Amino acid sequence: MAQFTKKAIMDAFIELISERAFDKITVKDIVTRCGINRNTFYYYFEDIYALVDEIFRTETQKIIGSETDYVSLQEAFLKGIEFAAIHKQAIFHIYKSISREQVEDYLNKVTYNNVLLFIKKETADIDAPEDDREFLAKFYTHALVGLLIEWLGSDMKGEPIEFISRLGVLFDGNIRYSLSKKQAKP
């Protein structure tokens, strides 16, 4: 029952943040939406910021906890930002509020995890140091998340799938090439 109530609070907040700006949402709005009292909200969360943090932590754990066999870098990234894509307006409102760091932290964690899984799978036959794979994962993470943050900052003009696909085409084969090239050096 406790997990059900906590999830109901989180779901109510996601609905509200999809409808209006972060600073226009109160604890009263959340408890009214999910039909609980204020004390119940405060039993689970210290404040709305703690609620946002828990939502991102939960979503990050869902993605990091799943080992998926990605066929492309784009697929790995898109899976990482699936929650953000589904709740686009909510992410936009959170990003435009003072919780911008939480959005960026979430995107970086899940993107890095998924990109690293993809790189490891794609280069399993290449004898390269693990820190080179991790370095490439960081590079691609910063490129992908940077583009997504730029998209959020431009009031979400266009679709992120377009630049992700374009980036995927430009980078296709570069991961294997980079690690193979390093392996071939004396």
**60 lies in the same domain as 30:** no
pTM confidence score:
0.73
SS3 186: coil
**53 lies in the same domain as 118:** yes
> CB neighbours (10 Å) of residue 5?
15
**154 lies in the same domain as 179:** yes
DSSP 31-74: HHHHT--HHHHHHH-SSHHHHHHHHHHHHHHHHHT-----SSHH
**Running DSSP on this structure, what letter comes out for residue 111?**
H
Cα separation, 70 vs 52, in Å, equals 29
**87 lies in the same domain as 174:** yes
**Tens place of pLDDT per residue across the chain (186 aa):** 678 999 999 999 999 999 998 889 999 999 999 999 999 999 999 999 899 888 888 887 777 666 667 777 777 777 777 777 777 788 888 888 866 788 888 888 888 888 888 888 888 899 889 999 999 999 988 988 888 888 777 766 767 677 677 777 777 777 888 888 755 555
**85 lies in the same domain as 169:** yes
**168 lies in the same domain as 127:** yes
User: Domain tally for the chain?
Assistant: 2
Domain that holds residue 24: 1-45
> CB neighbours (10 Å) of residue 38?
12
Q: Helix crossing, 88-96 with 2-19: angle to 10°?
A: 80
**78 lies in the same domain as 20:** no
